[in-house]
């Protein structure tokens, strides 16, 4: 098999295995967060309050279709379908990694073809930190994204036998951030973000961090299945690695507090305190299953919420129109939930109070202690 064929096969397995995982709605840390519901919310349902923007471009809801695939014929079909759904429902969507375009220019065509299904809607282009600047500029020039996503995926690379073994990325992220004219989002792929790494991004000054935590699609499991099938070594014990989306959102809150002057001398907080960083906008993804999970992310400080596995599964098993109907129902249900929890405006969602079950409460206390916060 040549490298091109291997890539086609890898992307196909990712889609198939992620689809299988998303077929079962797992319980995850969102179940350990409860929003405080007022019995007298003094609100009424109004779907118009969902209207918002993604980096200044209007969208119909604060959730979007997050990065999945690109660069093969199958990926082009999936992205084309997702682009049509995004156009009809008015939400944003991210293409999966377009790094392949830097190695094989002809692969740009598939992305352009999918883009043509939603030529004016807000999309995000996704690359890895080592994608050459020239290729990233070309992608931005041709695909006109509202922002650039740079994915960091150390666990996935580690479990992939053919994966990268060099995880030094912050300088590359900084270089790309300074080389492009659009906002930059740095995202995980399902293993979440810790305090120190969000602090590093704050210092670099990227516009947003998509924490993409544990709780949904699990690339340690996916890559391990591929590796074992090819006779590779067994990393199955890494299936629980990483911070959940909820834990990552708690970590982001700690970073915001450190940046806002709650100084600390702990080693984790050191880097965050030392230089004056700017807190990136927080995006949540990873294991989002329903509109209540979306609302929990917003209440915990996320500005936007990304969904991958769940939407992919509905698209592949029930088709494009079913996904469109699902997204419309998420929009109307999210409007109901906002009213139910007393939020008159979308921006007021972060004023909804929440409580944590003991396991998460204890995580938060331990992280705060590690960061020298009382």
Q: Given candidates 80, 122, 286, 291, which one binds ligand FNR under the rule CB under 6 A?
A: 286
Judged by CB under 6 A, the stretch of 62-70, 84-92, 256-264, 318-326 that binds ligand FNR is 62-70
Distance (Å, whole) CA 207 – CA 162 = 31
CB 310, min distance to ligand FNR, A? 6
**Window 15 to 44, contacts with ligand FNR (CB under 6 A):** 15, 18
- Which residue in the shown chain puts its C-beta closest to ligand FNR? 216
CB 79, min distance to ligand FNR, A? 11
**Window 88 to 107, contacts with ligand FNR (CB under 6 A):** 96-97
Residue 226 in the binding site for ligand FNR (CB under 6 A): no
Q: Which string of x and - marks every residue 66-85 that binds ligand FNR (by CB under 6 A)?
A: xxxx----------------
**Toward ligand FNR, which CB reaches closer, 95 or 235?**
95
**Toward ligand FNR, which CB reaches closer, 183 or 286?**
286
Angle at which helix 73-89 crosses helix 3-22, to 10 degrees, equals 50
Residue 244 in the binding site for ligand FNR (CB under 6 A): no
Q: What's the CA dihedral at 221, 227, 233, 235 to 10 degrees?
A: -10
Residue 147 in the binding site for ligand FNR (CB under 6 A): no
Nearest to 147 by CA among 176, 183, 120: 183
Q: What's phi and psi for 341, nearest 5 deg?
A: -95, 15
Residue 214 in the binding site for ligand FNR (CB under 6 A): no
CB 321, min distance to ligand FNR, A? 21
Residue 121 in the binding site for ligand FNR (CB under 6 A): no
Q: In three state form, how does the secondary structure of 32-69 look?
A: HEEECCCCCCCCCCCHHHHCEEECCEEECCCEEECCCC
- Over the range 136-165, which residues count as b (16 or more CB within 10 Å of their CB) and which as e? bebbbeebebbbbbbbbbbbbbbbbeeeee
Distance (Å, whole) CA 300 – CA 29 = 13
Distance (Å, whole) CA 234 – CA 228 = 6
Burial of 90 (0-12, 13-18, 19+ CB in 10 A): middle
Distance (Å, whole) CA 143 – CA 119 = 9
Residue 156 in the binding site for ligand FNR (CB under 6 A): no
Judged by CB under 6 A, the stretch of 14-22, 270-278, 319-327, 334-342 that binds ligand FNR is 14-22
Residue 189 in the binding site for ligand FNR (CB under 6 A): yes
CB 152, min distance to ligand FNR, A? 9
Residue 184 in the binding site for ligand FNR (CB under 6 A): no
Residues sharing a CB contact under 8 Å with residue 277, sequence separation 6 or more, in sequence order: 199, 202, 203, 205, 259
CB 17, min distance to ligand FNR, A? 8
**Toward ligand FNR, which CB reaches closer, 89 or 217?**
217
Coil vs helix vs strand at 301: coil
The CA distances from residue 326 to 277, 310, 370, in Å, are 39, 10, 41
Binding stretches for ligand FNR (CB under 6 A): 14-15, 18, 66-69, 96-97, 126, 149, 151, 187, 189-190, 212, 216-217, 285-288, 307-310, 312
């Amino acid at each position: 098999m040549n490298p091109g064929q291997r890539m086609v096969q890898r992307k196909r397995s990712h889609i198939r295995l992620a689809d299988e995982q998303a077929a079962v709605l797992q319980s995850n840390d969102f179940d350990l967060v409860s929003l405080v519901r007022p019995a007298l919310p003094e609100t009424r349902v109004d779907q118009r309050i969902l209207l918002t923007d993604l980096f200044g471009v209007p969208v119909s809801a604060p959730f979007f279709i997050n990065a999945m695939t690109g660069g093969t014929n199958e990926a082009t079909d999936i992205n084309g379908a997702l682009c049509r759904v995004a156009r009809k429902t008015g939400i944003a969507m991210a293409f999966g990694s377009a790094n392949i375009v830097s190695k094989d220019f002809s692969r740009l065509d598939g992305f352009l073809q999918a883009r043509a299904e939603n030529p004016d809607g807000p999309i995000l282009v996704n690359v890895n930190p080592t994608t050459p600047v020239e290729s990233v500029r070309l992608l931005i020039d041709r695909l006109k994204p509202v922002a650039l996503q740079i994915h960091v995926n150390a666990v996935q690379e580690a479990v992939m036998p053919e994966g990268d073994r060099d995880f030094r990325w912050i300088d590359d992220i900084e270089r790309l951030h300074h080389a492009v004219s659009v906002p930059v989002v740095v995202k995980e792929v399902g293993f979440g973000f810790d305090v120190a790494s969000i602090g590093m991004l704050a210092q670099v000054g990227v516009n947003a961090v998509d924490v993409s935590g544990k709780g949904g699609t699990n690339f340690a499991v996916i890559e391990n299945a591929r590796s074992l099938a090819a006779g590779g070594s067994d990393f199955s014990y890494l299936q629980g690695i990483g911070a959940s989306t909820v834990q990552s959102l708690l970590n982001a809150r700690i970073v915001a507090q450190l940046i806002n002057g709650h100084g600390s001398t702990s080693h984790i907080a050191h880097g965050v305190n030392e230089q004056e960083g700017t807190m990136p906008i927080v995006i949540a993804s990873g294991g989002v299953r329903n509109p209540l999970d979306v609302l929990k992310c917003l209440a915990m400080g996320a500005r936007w919420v990304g969904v991958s596995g769940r939407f992919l599964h509905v698209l592949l098993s029930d088709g494009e129109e079913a996904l469109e109907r699902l997204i419309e129902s998420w929009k109307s249900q999210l409007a109901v939930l906002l009213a139910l929890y007393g939020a008159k405006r979308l921006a007021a969602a972060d004023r909804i109070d929440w409580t944590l079950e003991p396991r998460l409460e204890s995580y938060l206390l331990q992280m705060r202690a590690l960061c020298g916060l009382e």
